[in-house]
Chains A and B, each alone.
Chain A
Amino acid sequence: MEPVKFDLVALNLNTIMPMLITLGGALFILIIDLFKKLDKQFYVTVSMATMLLAIYAIFQINSAGRGFFDVMLVDGVAVISQLIILGASVLFMPLALTGFRFREFKFAEYFAFFLFMIAGFQFMVSTDNLILIFLGLETGSLALYALIAMHNRQKSLESALKYFTMGAFAAGLFAFGSMIFYGITGSVEIGQMKTVIEGNNFSNMPLILLGTAFMIAALGFKLSIVPFHTWTPDVYEGASAPLAGYMSIVPKIAGFVVALRFFDFLAMADDGVVQTLLWIAAVATMTIGNILALVQDGVKRMLAYSSVSHAGFVMTAILMGTTQAHVGMFLYWTLFLFTNLGAFAMLWISRHPSKQFDIRYDHPFTKFSGMVKINPVAAVMMAIFMLSLAGIPPFAVYWGKLYLIGAAINSDHLYLALIMAINSAIAVYYYLKLVVFMFLKDPSQNDGTIYNMNGTFPLRLVLIVAAVFVIASIATIEPLSAFIQTHVVASGF
């Protein structure tokens, strides 16, 4: 046999560079910790530097395409989603620099896990090979389970275990789904699956549907699609606020990208079965998420259900399958990222190691009663984030909603657009509930500083960044959507 020719150019190492950088950063943190004990400021700095370097590496990829034996697929979608993942991580990372001491930040492993998780999700979005997707998914998820558990409270351990068990189950479903598709098409690459399935004109429909059902269940778990969403409130409640906020953004965008790659061609089939399935799933998700959010007493649980609803909202983009919808999906998620970052950071800044307000919740609604009278700045900030989440103009998420509903109308999904609009209206209720608590009720105590005892300069900076973005989103919306548009179109979605 001939020796294998080794060609560095064909390998296209650029495509894998961002992940290598994050992995390298993680390993560096692990090793340095073995030899010298350092404080969290150092780890945060290293992690941030690593992530910024990775972002830089992404911008160095000038030729979109495949690499590393054609396993990697770095197209426009991969670039945008990696940017969202890394950008979100950069913004969430400083939240570790809290005023109070929390146990998890004492461990270097926390930061290493964080970087491993990012690398996992990066792999997940920049390939169409089901095996690598699986690998990335599990790398990210396993790190995430550990991160949640490290918060080290009864609830955190419980939620981490729940998440883990259900995640394992979902992983099994994913493996089954992949197996069936491999059986049908003889390939593990989504691109080739598409060619084969479209080539024989969807002849194996029952089998395809079986595989699709597995896939919907598996990805639905990651995206918290009803009825695979049951972990969301418990896990959000157990995790620390920044991690919960992070979870509502990053794993989901990774999941959305995989779902986009996987369901895009299936949903566009002539008989429309998969499209109808996704329709039902999306509608159920946004409606049930909304309805459940209505009756929550804890702000974090409310935000958890609301993020379920948002996921359902964005899910519609995949079933519409138009370019406008796909652009809307990334746009929505970017705007949602900043808003949720702000909302969860507000919870985090008001966090106290002891539960002062409620036996069960860290952040019951009553905690924020009359906040405007004792800490007006924080109350106004929180209100802005809530209004943005509720989709009230001119704040960030409004534009996302507008874009997606517009896409629904343009692709003739009129009922869907109507349902989306109605759900947006329902959502206003529970977001404004918090605003009502903050602005119209009487405070339960006199000391306004309680709401930012956990705050430090980095936390406030993150909050300011989020608030500025949310308020000024009207100015960023044009260039942002143009940027996303070019990348999405370039990758053929």
Chain B
Amino acid sequence: MENLLYTALFAPLVGSIFAGVLGGRSKMMIAGLVPSILLLVSLAASLVLLGHVLSTGTAVAVTMFDWINIGNFNVAFGFQVDQVTAVMICVVTVVSAMVHIYSIGYMDHDKGFNRFFSYLSLFVFSMMFLVMSDNFLGLFVGWEGVGVCSYLLVGFWYHKRSASWAANEAFIMNRVADLGMLLGIALIYWQLGTVKYDEVFANVDKLDMTVLLWITGLLFVGAMGKSAQFPLHTWLADAMEGPTPVSALIHAATMVTAGVYLVVRANELYAPVPEVGYFIACLGAFVAMFAASMALVNRDMKRIIAYSTLSQLGYMFVAAGLGAYWVALFHLMTHAFFKALLFLGAGNVMHAMHDELDPFKMGGLRKAMKGTFILMTLASVALAGIWPLAGFFSKDLILEVAFVEHHFILYTVLLLTAGLTAFYSFRLVALIFHGEERYKLFGIHPHEAYRFMLIAMSPLAILAVIAGFGFKGDYFAMVTQMLPATEYHVHSPVVYWTMVFGTQIFVGLAIAYAYIKYVKVKAFDPAIESNFFYKLLINQYYIPALYEKFITVPYAKLSRFAWKQIDQRIVDAIVDLIATSIYKLGEVSKRMHTGNLSTMLRLMTLGFVIVLVIALALQMMAK
């Protein structure tokens, strides 16, 4: 089992190194194939590990070697695969393996083909490291690793100014949040003297309430950064500058869910402080609504999907915040499948449309791209939460959780958001695949993607369909071995069935409305641009502008001041002064060395005398 664990963890790293070695060369097919095959190996190993955990119910744990050993501070490179991790690694490897294969087609004509696979595999390695580590510090290493890879991949087309800007934004925002997380980990170590999960969780009751509040709060700040929760959410939409497979893998399925994973993983820390949990839930609900509203009007296909991701992350946090950790993790899993599918479909559309992202310029693509049409519709249905697809089982569960826990406001917000979700999803589908073929105006001849790309997407599609009813039972049985096994039942059957059917009808109506409204659209109607709500939403509630005005610009000014006034005028001047004075001293003492033998001998004698005098003087002092 240990070897399997190492295989699952390190196979992506090997792939990354392999592709990285070829990084400087022009496109080589092997640089894409080898990492993909290694990922399939990793996937197989993960599945076996999952099977092991599922059948025996025991975690696989290894300690690789001592990592940090300073004084009393001992941390080992330890990994474990328990129930939560097993779910995570399977999700990660499934999605990444499919994305890898898909990318071989998608990045076909890109100059940076080899480099891309190197980064992508490195990301998978970091993500596996993140979820497999058995201590907070290892988690942090993986956390930073995925951050770096995200930076590299968002800025993959670094010659584009917007891409490098987005990469920087993502990186810096995450860094701000990571500080919170690092402080949280430091606090844990300071209080408990260990960072290992088992030992920390075993000693939670020893912690002071205030301290625990701080720890959970600070850790959640880290989670907010990585999972792009308000107010650190702006980077996610901008991160869509990266190649689409990256958006599918990192900014939808895996990395952004790391925040949720953290809260689930640290559930024993969150359990004693329901206040923090409630805050998390409220924030999640707010973000769910907030992001969905922005997705309503956006005219960028990928950004719409990104906002939808944001919104779904909000759902997960609601579940996690209310203590329904297994529900959060379940939604994380199903969401990974259908959202990755959605993004990959968007990638196909982008390719067909020559990187056009505005759905108002598409329309009627279902004829040209039948496979993509079916897959994306399937994903959208799953996202909207229609029975019997995966989204229904996980999302409805979250609604039930909110209802059962008597948080009716949260419930209402989430219900409304579910309608919005259905609306914008089908707005997108309608605009892209139905109606008139508006793209003809631009002289584009769309074509379907490579067959193997569609085949690579199909496992995700299957999972998006069956993950709900197929896995729920086993999943629940397994995960609740370590997570709180609260079952959320609405006691009155009448209320329950009303809720289920009501939601389904509501969602169905939203879909129908979106379809009717957008299927006949001829072109984008500029009249709407003067609408106040439209302006508010398309400008993302003016939040980026506010950040620009109140944070970025003043900070730049402050930096400039520190550079010009403090650094150059004061610090540099002092350093220069020291340097020049030492140099001058050298020039002066150079005169001692005339090269004249008599002077040298005299100097030697003088030296002897000085030594003697000092010696005798010291001797007198000593007495």
Contact = CB atoms under 8 A, between A and B. Distances in A.
Interface stretch (B19-27, B292-300, B337-345, B578-586): B578-586
Nearest to B612: A213
B600 A295 contact: no
B485 interface: no
A277 interface: yes
Interface in A249-290: 271-274, 276-277, 280-281, 288
B619 A206 contact: yes
A182 interface: no
Interface string B579-623: 100110111011011010101110110111011101110110010
Contact of B589 (A210, A214, A274, A292): A292
Q: Which 7 A-B pairs have the closest CB atoms?
A: A271-B622, A227-B607, A295-B586, A213-B612, A209-B615, A217-B608, A230-B600
Interface string B158-186: 00000000000000000000000000000
Contact of A209 (B593, B599, B601, B616): B616
Given A205-B619, A230-B600, A217 B611 contact: yes
Given A209-B612, A295-B586, A217 B604 contact: yes
Interface stretch (A109-117, A146-154, A161-169, A449-457): A161-169
A217 B607 contact: yes
A426 B582 contact: yes
A233 interface: yes
Interface string A317-341: 0000000000000000000000000
Chain A: interface size category: 35 or more
B574 to A, nearest CB: 15
Contacts of A210: 612
Contacts of A216: 608, 611
A220 B590 CA distance: 20
A292 B589 CA distance: 7
A426 to B, nearest CB: 6
Nearest to A301: B593
B586 A209 contact: no
Nearest to A227: B607
B255 to A, nearest CB: 33
Given A166-B600, A166-B601, A280-B614, A271 B608 contact: no
Given A166-B600, A230-B603, A230-B604, A277 B582 contact: no
Contact of B608 (A162, A205, A213): A213
A113 B593 CA distance: 30
A234 interface: yes
A271 B619 contact: yes
A165 B606 CA distance: 16
Interface of A: 161-162, 165-166, 169-170, 173, 205-206, 209-210, 212-214, 216-217, 220-221, 226-228, 230-231, 233-234, 271-274, 276-277, 280-281, 288, 291-295, 426, 429
Nearest to A270: B622
B607 A291 contact: no
B619 A273 contact: yes
A291 B606 contact: no
Contacts of A273: 615, 618-619, 622
Interface of B: 579, 582-583, 585-587, 589-590, 592-593, 595, 597, 599-601, 603-604, 606-608, 610-612, 614-616, 618-619, 622
B616 A206 contact: yes
A233 B590 CA distance: 11
Contacts of B582: 291, 294, 426
Given A205-B619, A295-B587, A233 B611 contact: no
B608 A294 contact: no
B586 A213 contact: no
B583 A294 contact: yes
Given A162-B597, A276-B618, A288 B589 contact: yes
A276 B615 CA distance: 8
Given A212-B615, A221-B604, A234-B595, 15 more contacts: A162-B600, A206-B619, A209-B612, A220-B607, A227-B592, A227-B604, A228-B603, A230-B593, A230-B599, A230-B604, A271-B619, A271-B622, A273-B615, A277-B611, A291-B585
A277 B604 contact: no
Nearest to B579: A429
B616 A169 contact: no
Contacts of A227: 592, 603-604, 606-607, 610
5 contacts: A228-B603, A276-B614, A277-B614, A293-B586, A429-B579
Nearest to B617: A273
A213 B615 contact: yes
Contacts of B595: 234
B566 to A, nearest CB: 22
A238 B592 CA distance: 19
**Chain A interface helix/strand/loop/mixed:** helix
Nearest to B603: A227
A272 B622 contact: yes
A209 B609 CA distance: 12
A292 B592 CA distance: 10
B601 A165 contact: yes
B586 A294 contact: yes
A273 B615 CA distance: 6
Contacts of A295: 583, 586-587, 590
A335 B616 CA distance: 37
Nearest to B604: A228
A49 B535 CA distance: 89
A169 B603 contact: no
Contacts of B611: 213, 216-217, 277, 281
B593 A228 contact: no
B616 A214 contact: no
Contact of A166 (B583, B604, B610): B604
Contacts of A170: 604
Contacts of A221: 604
A445 to B, nearest CB: 29
A221 B616 CA distance: 21
Contacts of B579: 429
A271 to B, nearest CB: 4
Contacts of A426: 582
Given A213-B612, A217-B611, A277-B618, A233 B586 contact: no
A288 B603 CA distance: 14
A291 B600 CA distance: 19
A203 to B, nearest CB: 12
A291 B608 contact: no
B609 to A, nearest CB: 8
A147 B618 CA distance: 41
Contacts of B615: 209, 212-213, 273-274, 277
A206 B597 CA distance: 31
Nearest to A295: B586
Contacts of B606: 227
Contacts of A272: 622
A205 B589 CA distance: 34
Contacts of B585: 291
Nearest to B594: A230
A227 to B, nearest CB: 4
A274 B619 CA distance: 9
A288 B595 CA distance: 17
A136 B603 CA distance: 26
Given A209-B619, A234-B595, A291-B589, A169 B614 contact: no
Task: Specify which of B608, B610, B618 lies most central, judged by the most chain A CB atoms within 10 Å of its CB.
Answer: B608
Contacts of A429: 579
Contacts of A162: 597, 600
B489 to A, nearest CB: 63
Contacts of B614: 276-277, 280
A234 to B, nearest CB: 6
Contacts of B590: 292, 295
A180 to B, nearest CB: 12
Nearest to A216: B611
Contacts of A271: 618-619, 622
Contact of A233 (B583, B593, B616): B593
Given A206-B619, A292-B586, A169 B607 contact: no
